[in-house]
Chain A
Amino acid sequence: MPDTAATLATAARLSAHFRAAGAVPVSADILQPAETLLDLYGEDIRARAYVTRDPVAGEMMLRPDFTVPVVQAHMANGAEPARYTYEGAVFRKQEAPGARAREYLQVGYELFDRTDPAAADAEVFALIATALEGLALRATLRPVTGDIGVLRAAVAGLSLSDHRRAALMRHIWRPARFRALIERFTGRGPLAEARAALTDRLRAAPAQALIAEAGPVIGLRGADEIAARVAALLADADTPPLPAAEVALMNAILSVAMPSRAALEHLRALEWSALAPALDRLARRLDALDARGVDTAALRFEASFGRSSMEYYDGFVFGFVAEGAGLPPVATGGRYDALTAVLGQGRAIPAVGGVIRPALVAALEGAR
């Protein structure tokens, strides 16, 4: 569906708002190399992005977001600190007929700054909040925030072997698998039973003998790799189970959903020293938000927010949802420090950004 005049006018207004904050306008190719995006997002991105083939460049994707190309451009030749804004279409495959938009405008703001992460988080959030302020919308826009950094600190603080900790860290963005792994680490449940049966068999003979008996080693995964994982499995079987008290603590963190200041107090009251640095960062961010006029006594905080949809965010995350409108979030964003390291070829810089969907803003305005 082509963008309406109202959508284009909204996009222009948002773009001006970001430029007035000091952002430099940038653009990005619509055709992006698929390999980078596949490496970042995994195979799931194929179900969400349009893939095509270029005779020379190989597999390409229609730009599913701006963040990746903007980060790449900044890492290649950006000065610090940097503020960028962009305005353009992104493309997302939709499985359900007639469901959400397949092609829609995004107007975004990205901030690369290594001096004060709390202030940078607050700047991006407040800038997007003010862009959406004062509009007569037919639904109330409810901001929701979260912090992947708190979850990462919690995982880092669990009494786990390095092997198990890495496995859990890898699945922070897959809540079902995350839960299943925690259950296995307690030594109970179907995964733990399957694992116990497997290790019983692996104890019966040396790995090389078991492999030789099972069949010829075919494919790229070699006997040494199989034997290495057998050794890891046997070592893991002797690891003490994750204490029930820590599982309860983790669940208590994951279920936090309340105003930000209350959430901070609630998390502090858990008295878990592993969380302290992450909670200090959260406190500094709330102070910085207060300084920008955001009411953090009311601002919603959900510890699980952003876990299933925003794989590269690793700190502050936020969204603006139109209550009861049945629409996707009108704006989303967050901190993605690790992404800059992945795309920076050895260099990294703390970064935070967010996007607004002008068509959704226009729809909410038009229907008033």
Chain B
Amino acid sequence: MTLSLGVPSKGRLMEQTFDWFADRGITLRRAGADREYAGAVEGFDGLRLVLLSAGEIPRDLAAGRIHLGVTGSDLVREGLADWAAQVAELAPMGFGHADLVIAVPAAWVDVDTLDDLDAAAAAFRARHGFRLRIATKYHRLVRDHLRAHGVADYQLVDSQGATEGTVKNLTAEAVADITSTGATLRDNHLKVLHGPPVHASQATLFAASGADWTEARAVLVRLAARLGVALPDTFG
């Protein structure tokens, strides 16, 4: 029995994940031709590398098809209902940092905080007859955040790409999007609201609560010791 580890199949996220494991004495690499999504592991027995699209890893973890997975914490929290019941966070990996933030036009000199956004939304609805639109693809995270802060009179509109352009295109009044430097938002004449982000995301090693752990558990305990990761009680 082996322990399966899902890792993003390409790009910086894959390379940095390989580096992270290499720093801990485990070599991960793609096997065979560059286009094949097969992986090889050296330096640790019983670990099987599965290369997957980063966006699919939350779903595969939730279904228990893989024991472990590396993906952005934003994708897990957005993609899985009651995520903490379905996966356990084993280790934040210190790369792939990006913040999910709410941004409004820079010209809104009267809006700095969620407190302001709420008041502006009330006035906007009274003036325009519909609720202030926030474009995002992170519906669950943004809605939970705004509910927790008691913001009303807004609506989320779906935007799967080029979200920062929606305000200029008159399909939204504000946006909620992932950013690492804020440069793209600034280029589009948007500013980030003050205060903590909706979510501070980074690449994270997750374990699937619903996977078959009968034999994999022993491998995980050994792996955790090698990685220097503390296991939650349910996995220890």
Verify that A and B bind, or say they do not: yes
> Contact: B143 with A43, CB < 8 Å?
yes
Which chain A residues border B150 with CB–CB below 8 Å? 171, 174, 176-178, 180
Interface members, chain A 196-236 (any B CB < 8 Å)? 197-198, 201-202, 207, 210-211, 214-221, 223, 225-226, 228-230, 233
Interface members, chain B 100-139 (any A CB < 8 Å)? 105-110, 112-113, 115-116, 118-120, 122-124, 127-128, 131-132, 139
Given contacts A219-B173, A221-B120, A223-B107, contact A174 B112 (CB under 8 A): no
> Contact: B106 with A194, CB < 8 Å?
no
> Contact: A220 with B128, CB < 8 Å?
yes
Which chain B residues border A174 with CB–CB below 8 Å? 150, 152
Interface members, chain B 76-116 (any A CB < 8 Å)? 81-82, 85-86, 105-110, 112-113, 115-116
Which chain B residues border A210 with CB–CB below 8 Å? 109
> Contact: A229 with B120, CB < 8 Å?
yes
Given contacts A177-B118, A215-B189, A216-B189, contact A226 B128 (CB under 8 A): no
> Contact: B156 with A43, CB < 8 Å?
yes
Which chain A residues border B206 with CB–CB below 8 Å? none
A-B contact count (CB 8 A): 118
> Contact: A96 with B109, CB < 8 Å?
no
Could you mark each residue 164-186 of chain A with 1 if its beta carbon is under 8 Å from any beta carbon of chain B, else 0? 00010011001011101000100
Q: How far is the CA of A220 from the CA of B147 in the complex (A)?
A: 24
> Contact: B124 with A225, CB < 8 Å?
yes
Tell me how many residues of B have a C-beta within 8 Å of chain A.
Answer: 46
> Contact: A218 with B168, CB < 8 Å?
yes
29 contacts between A and B (CB under 8 A): A38-B155, A42-B152, A43-B146, A44-B147, A46-B156, A47-B143, A96-B82, A97-B86, A170-B122, A171-B150, A176-B148, A176-B150, A177-B149, A177-B150, A180-B150, A191-B115, A194-B115, A195-B115, A198-B110, A214-B108, A218-B189, A219-B168, A220-B170, A220-B173, A221-B105, A221-B120, A226-B109, A228-B123, A233-B110
7 tightest Cβ-Cβ pairs between the two chains A and B: A177-B150, A215-B106, A174-B150, A219-B167, A229-B110, A96-B82, A215-B189
- Measured CB to CB, the residues of B under 8 A from A are 81-82, 85-86, 105-110, 112-113, 115-116, 118-120, 122-124, 127-128, 131-132, 139-140, 143-144, 146-156, 167-168, 170, 172-173, 189, 194
